[in-house]
Amino acid sequence: MDTIEDLFRRFEQLNAIGAALSHERDIDKLLENILVAAKIITHADGGTLYRVTEDEASLRFEIVRNDSLKIAMGGTSGNPIPFPPLPLRNEQGEENNSMVAAYAAIHQKTVNIADAYEAEGFDFSGTRKFDAHTGYRSQSFLTVPMKNHENAVIGVLQLINSIDPDTGRVTPFSAADQRLAESLASQAAIALTNRQLISQLEQLFESFIQLINVAIDEKSPYTGGHCERVPVLTMMLAEAVNETRSGALADFSMGDKDRYELKIAGLLHDCGKVTTPVHVVDKATKLQTLYDRIHLVDTRFEVLKRDAQIAMLKAKLALRDARDARAEAMIEEDLTRHLRQIESDREFLRHANIGGELMTPEDQARVTKIGSGYRWIDVEGKAANFLSDDELENLNIRAGTLTQKERETINYHIVATIKMLEQLPWPKHLKNVPEYAGGHHERMDGKGYPKGLTREQMSVQARVMGIADIFEALTARDRPYKRGKTLSESLEILGKFKLGGHIDPDLFDVFVRQKVYLKYAEKFLDPEQIDEVREDGIPGYVQDIAAAQKSDA
């Protein structure tokens, strides 16, 4: 018989277990804790925890434990459970009332059996075979359904062989054992349901984020890969910093909640790009809008050539009566020279349109001269400058393919990102997402955008994301306007960014020292991009002095 002191102690255990269950985030650990706790408060030697499958057709083994036989399967044990699920109904739809666990789930009733070898109405043939094989004797059974807040069974808790603490003998589960197990099963079902609901909400939230990234990807296949890779590189660098035990970043540490918060920020760091016009994002040449307008310029050149040829023919007709062969030859020479110049100017504009090289002031002057030096008859029959003002502005872009206005449009995506994220009612454990995601275009010297923050005004996480964003862009091989740079090229540029106050110097050193760049490269870069890196030649990189001294020794 249970003493009052023993019941008091077990009630205190039950309260402590209930509180502990509500804090566990990992479902496998939660299930394991439920079974272990039930074994403790009922003095059970073994037990099994089942969960109802998604189709509600059977009970799936989740955790199996037996102290005497030293069996630990499922959960955190790493040992898979070889037993098939227990069907709740047969192929004809009849209830499986012969199996104790199935019966408890179907009828939502606790089943307390003093001795399985003497019990009637249930099929214990499988249990007897197990006992014959192991030498064990499965005697007392306590099987409790786990019901959620909607009174639906979500699992079954089955305990085997209650051990008397004083004699060590197997005894039936007492009425107190049953009440305690039922109470624990109820608390456990609530904790499990809450954890499942939270997990489902997290999955829904992340799926919604992926939906945004898919929308960006559909607009532009070149930014979709960026949205996928930057979060991965961000977490790689953050983990490397988390493992750093010396220097300025030694105090930085992350828990599971911190990791999840940074992961979400990484996934959302460019969500504002849904507002960016696709023809600006994908602008591969200077004259590209919805199409490359260089073809219109080509057409005008053809018009100029035909006009020149017509003018030559008219001039020759005017000289026909004079029969001046020398004059005709000069006209033809002028035409040939003129056509050669037209072709040269056309090739020049085609090359300038690519935007792969810096334009010199002389090149820009030549574009301007072509734009106003040639005249053509437009579709309205009026004489017009060869290039429009907008075409002149774009073809005279000194570097790249974007005008200043287009760069501002591109840059606005970070403002849109911050606006979008700051309007969301973030829970406490995600409250820093807007700051992390919105700071990846800031600079350490305060010359970044949109807020002009300095290093001291930014979190480590936001500075980590800044490096990840730049390195991904340098090495990306799916951009229409440039090739993906090699590791050595990218690290040289990143090192100069460190010296120029663009990126965090300590984070850059960790990025190189922990070879984060190489881990990322092996996962995302083409083999030809992974060239030899001489770390001692990277601009601004400071080696780990302690490690260097140890190596010298």
pLDDT at 550: 44
Residues paired with residue 51 on neighbouring β-strands, in sequence order: 60, 155
Percent of the chain whose pLDDT exceeds 90: 59
Query: Are 337 and 425 members of one domain?
Result: no
pLDDT classification of 483: cutoffs 50, 70, 90: confident
Q: What is the pLDDT of residues 387-404, one digit of tens each?
A: 999 999 999 999 888 899
Q: What is the pLDDT of residues 143-197, one digit of tens each?
A: 999 998 888 898 999 999 999 988 999 999 999 889 888 888 887 788 788 888 8
pLDDT classification of 10: cutoffs 50, 70, 90: low
Residue whose entry in the numeric block shows the structure tokens 């008397």: 164
pLDDT classification of 547: cutoffs 50, 70, 90: very low
Given 166, 198, 230, which residue is the final one in a domain? 198
Q: Supply the range of the domain harboring residue 314.
A: 294-401
- 226 pLDDT higher than 70: yes
Instruction: Please name which of 473, 465, 447 lies closest in space to residue 507, comparing C-alpha atoms.
Output: 465
Q: How many CB atoms lie within 10 A of CB 7?
A: 13
pLDDT at 196: 81
Tokens of 89: 């109904």
pLDDT at 91: 84
pLDDT at 513: 94
* Residue 215 maps to a domain: no
pLDDT classification of 355: cutoffs 50, 70, 90: confident
Query: Are 10 and 151 members of one domain?
Result: yes
- 322 pLDDT higher than 70: no
Q: How far apart are the first and last CA of the chain?
A: 71
Query: Are 118 and 34 members of one domain?
Result: yes
Residues paired with residue 383 on neighbouring β-strands, in sequence order: 377
Given 144, 166, 198, which residue is the final one in a domain? 198
- Rounded-to-integer distance, Cα 356 and Cα 285, Å: 9
* Residue 459 maps to a domain: yes
φ, ψ (nearest 5 deg) of residue 113: -115, 125
DSSP secondary structure code for residue 97 in this structure: T
* Residue 410 maps to a domain: no
- Rounded-to-integer distance, Cα 149 and Cα 112, Å: 24
- Rounded-to-integer distance, Cα 24 and Cα 393, Å: 61
- 245 pLDDT higher than 80: yes
- 6 pLDDT higher than 70: no
- 544 pLDDT higher than 70: no
Query: Are 343 and 224 members of one domain?
Result: no
Tokens of 393: 């502005």
pLDDT at 223: 62
Query: Are 300 and 342 members of one domain?
Result: yes
The mean pLDDT value for 311-329 works out to 79
Given 198, 232, 255, which residue is the final one in a domain? 198
Our count of domains for the chain comes to 3
Handedness of CA 330, 331, 336, 337 (dihedral sign): positive
Query: Are 96 and 194 members of one domain?
Result: yes
Write down the pTM of the prediction.
0.69
pLDDT at 553: 41
Helix (H, G, I), strand (E, B) or coil at 452: coil
Query: Are 30 and 53 members of one domain?
Result: yes
- 314 pLDDT higher than 70: yes
Q: Confirm if 157 and 186 have CB atoms less than 8 A apart.
A: no
pLDDT classification of 224: cutoffs 50, 70, 90: low
Task: Please report how many Cα atoms fall inside a 13 Å half-sphere around the Cα of residue 399, on the Cβ side.
Answer: 2
* Residue 462 maps to a domain: yes
DSSP secondary structure code for residue 58 in this structure: E
Q: What pairing do the DSSP bridges indicate for beta strands 375-377 and 141-147? A: unpaired
Helix (H) or strand (E) holding 341: helix 325-354
The residue that leads in pLDDT, 462 or 209, is 462
Query: Are 8 and 133 members of one domain?
Result: yes
Phi-psi region of 95 (alpha: psi -120 to 50; beta: other; left: phi over 0): beta
* Residue 211 maps to a domain: no
Instruction: Please name which of 68, 48, 54, 282 lies closest in space to residue 157, comparing C-alpha atoms.
Output: 48
* Residue 127 maps to a domain: yes
pLDDT classification of 221: cutoffs 50, 70, 90: low
Q: For all residues of the chain together, what is the average pLDDT?
A: 88
CA distances from 341 to 313, 365, 431, 454 (A): 19, 16, 63, 52
Q: What is the pLDDT of residues 358-392, one digit of tens each?
A: 899 999 999 999 999 998 888 788 889 999 999 99
Query: Are 54 and 159 members of one domain?
Result: yes
The CATH number given to whatever domain includes residue 516 is 1.10.3210.10
pLDDT classification of 4: cutoffs 50, 70, 90: low
Q: What is the pLDDT of residues 497-527, one digit of tens each?
A: 999 999 999 999 999 999 999 999 999 999 9
- Rounded-to-integer distance, Cα 279 and Cα 291, Å: 8
Query: Are 276 and 422 members of one domain?
Result: yes
pLDDT at 258: 96
Tokens of 284: 């591969």
Query: Are 29 and 176 members of one domain?
Result: yes
- Rounded-to-integer distance, Cα 486 and Cα 534, Å: 13
DSSP secondary structure code for residue 527 in this structure: G
Query: Are 142 and 234 members of one domain?
Result: no
* Residue 261 maps to a domain: yes
Q: What is the pLDDT of residues 56-87, one digit of tens each?
A: 999 999 999 999 999 999 988 889 999 999 99
Comparing 195-209, 367-381, 470-484, the range with the smallest average pLDDT is 470-484
pLDDT classification of 210: cutoffs 50, 70, 90: confident
Comparing 139-143, 183-187, 333-337, the range with the smallest average pLDDT is 183-187
The residue that leads in pLDDT, 193 or 259, is 259
Helix (H) or strand (E) holding 157: strand 153-163
pLDDT at 7: 58
The CATH number given to whatever domain includes residue 93 is 3.30.450.40
pLDDT at 548: 39
- Rounded-to-integer distance, Cα 372 and Cα 395, Å: 13
Identity (one letter) of the amino acid at 289? T
Maximum separation of any 2 CA atoms in the chain, in Å: 137
